Amino acid sequence: MPSQRKPRSPSQQTASTTPSGRLPRGQDYLHTIRSDQYIEFSPGLLGDGMELFSEFVTLVGIPLDPPIGNTDTIMERLDDATSDAPVPTRIVAFANVSAAPVKLKGNGALAGYYDLYVTLSPTRESVGEAIYHFEDDTNGTFESKAEFWPLFELRPLGQGHSIFVDTGVARVPGFPMNIGSAGGRWSMRPPTDRVVTSFRAAPFFYEGEVIITAQRDGQISPLVAMQHAGPTIAACAKDQAEFTSADYAGRMGRVRFGTTKPAANRELE
């Protein structure tokens, strides 16, 4: 006679549906779809004869070197994450460029057109925290926040040398920026068959777009007041990074980050 399975008690039923998983420490690989960033450089920062630069600049992602698919941003989770508990994070790689050249106005030596590159400050770390909410052991939602300390490089379209502005040293309005994201989704299942996975860690992915914003009234560095910014000073859309060709899928390796630019801020003197 076949054995009969006893029905589970209500407490057992509840326990079986409660997420008990853990997201391992690791790195998240993201690609910038578009980022609209308010940037203000004062005449005092740019030098004699220069005018105030105050614009929203549209930025797009640059694949890291060496490339890991179309990855331009890497955020590291510094500890294992459990449901609803904050975990420390830091941005360890970032590479964006202006979608079109920007113009510095005035009759000073720096007047002209430049491509604006944005990477991470070599003098300050961009740290933060994230909270992951589990719907089950394989997916859920998240929210995160971080301080963002960029290094700006203004690369002239014609002859001349790049201008470097390290927000970790120079006082630039709005920086460090308090960036935040809420309502995004994560999953242990890859959204496509070409996603970039974390090095030596269990797979972890973001579903759909990750929207990151910063508000003017949420800044922590009011040393230099912004003059013309609206309430939202940054709005960025990112998605899960992917390999651009199937040939790369089996060649994941440790990332070699670029060397620090030694001339940061020197050209401004």
Would the pLDDT of 265 be above 60?
no
pLDDT of residue 29: 94
* Number of CB atoms found within 10 A of residue 209's CB: 14
What is the pLDDT confidence band of residue 198, given thresholds at 50, 70 and 90?
confident
- The ranges assigned to domains in the chain are 22-245+258-268
41-45, 131-135, 263-267, range with the lowest pLDDT: 263-267
Would the pLDDT of 261 be above 80?
no
Q: pTM higher than 0.85 for the full model?
A: no
pLDDT of residue 221: 66
What whole-number distance in Å separates Cα of residue 84 and Cα of residue 82? 6
pLDDT of residue 269: 38
**Partners of 117 in the beta sheet?**
97, 153
pLDDT of residue 197: 84
Tokens linked to 2: 């076949």
